[in-house]
């Protein structure tokens, strides 16, 4: 799978992409992640990417030309047989869930468009396939949502996680159930003990206990 992230601030993404699971996945060739600087597609000698909104108002809006040109250029770099899913990260988008991540994990190429400033020209929406929001709050830009999508989708790809059932047993794997409680050494910590069933060695009882605990944590 390949991710292409279109952003005005590439440096915001460099750190997370170079550590932990994402770095290992990239090093092992399980995922390809490229960061595209929107400024390179700016208009004129000054590489302008934003302008004031028609009708007045505070802030600046991303212009349509740089964003659309960046999307089309990114698509043109792919093999003719590849299909690119273009996602605009915006508060007006569909709520992002684990089910969304699983759906996206089946794509071959995802282009993530990060907004910034006050927003973006409305006509940009005509050039994307899906609009996604990671929550009902406002961020400075789409870089953090982009990383949330990349991280959550990448961990679902075959071979990325160490344990075969790690992604299956995660919270929200079925859309509602949260992950069961987990413990490690020491057996006792400040008066709190590990449940006896986890020390029993009876894997059948342990599975039943975990399922029961997960059901109790079911959202809602």
The CATH class given to the 2-154 domain equals alpha beta
The DSSP result for 57-70, as a single string, is -SS-EE-HHHHHHH
* DSSP β-bridge partners for residue 88: 113, 131
**pLDDT tens by residue, 130-161:** 999 999 998 999 999 999 999 999 999 999 98
Cα-to-chain-centroid distance, residue 103: 12
pLDDT digits (tens, 9 = 90+) for 55-102: 999 999 999 999 999 999 999 998 765 689 999 999 999 999 999 999
* Residue ranges covered by each domain of the chain: 2-154, 176-220
CATH 1.10.1270.20, domain 176-220, yes or no = yes
Answer whether 150's CB lies under 8 Å from 22's CB.
yes
CA distance 47 to 66: 9
8 A C-beta contact, residue 121 and residue 128: no
Mind telling me the catalytic residues?
A: 91, 118, 155, 170
DSSP calls for 147-186: HHHHHHHHTTSTTSSSSTTTTTTSTTTTSSPPPPP---S-
Kindly indicate the confidence band of residue 1, based on its pLDDT and cuts at 50, 70 and 90: very high
Q: Is the pLDDT of residue 166 over 70?
A: no
Indicate whether this model's pTM tops 0.75.
Answer: yes
């Amino acid at each position: 799978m390949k991710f292409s992230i279109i952003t005005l601030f590439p440096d915001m993404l460099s750190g997370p992409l170079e550590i932990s699971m994402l770095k290992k996945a990239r090093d092992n060739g399980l995922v390809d992640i490229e960061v595209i600087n929107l400024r390179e597609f700016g208009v004129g000698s000054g590489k302008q990417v934003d302008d004031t909104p028609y009708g007045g108002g505070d802030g600046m809006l991303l212009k349509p030309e740089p964003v659309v040109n960046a999307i089309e250029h990114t698509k043109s770099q792919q093999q003719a047989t590849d299909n690119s899913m273009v996602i605009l990260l915006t508060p007006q988008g569909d709520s992002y869930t684990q089910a969304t991540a699983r759906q996206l994990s089946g794509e071959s190429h995802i282009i993530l468009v990060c907004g910034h400033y006050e927003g973006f020209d409305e006509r940009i929406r005509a050039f994307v396939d899906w609009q996604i929001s990671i929550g009902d709050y406002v961020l400075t830009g789409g870089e953090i949502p982009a990383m949330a999508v990349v991280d959550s989708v990448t961990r679902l790809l075959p071979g990325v996680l160490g344990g075969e059932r790690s992604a299956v047993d995660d919270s929200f794997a079925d859309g509602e159930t949260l992950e069961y409680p987990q413990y490690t050494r020491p057996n006792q910590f400040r008066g709190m003990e590990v449940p006896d069933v986890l020390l029993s060695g009876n894997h059948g009882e342990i599975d039943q206990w975990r399922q029961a605990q997960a059901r109790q944590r079911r959202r809602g």
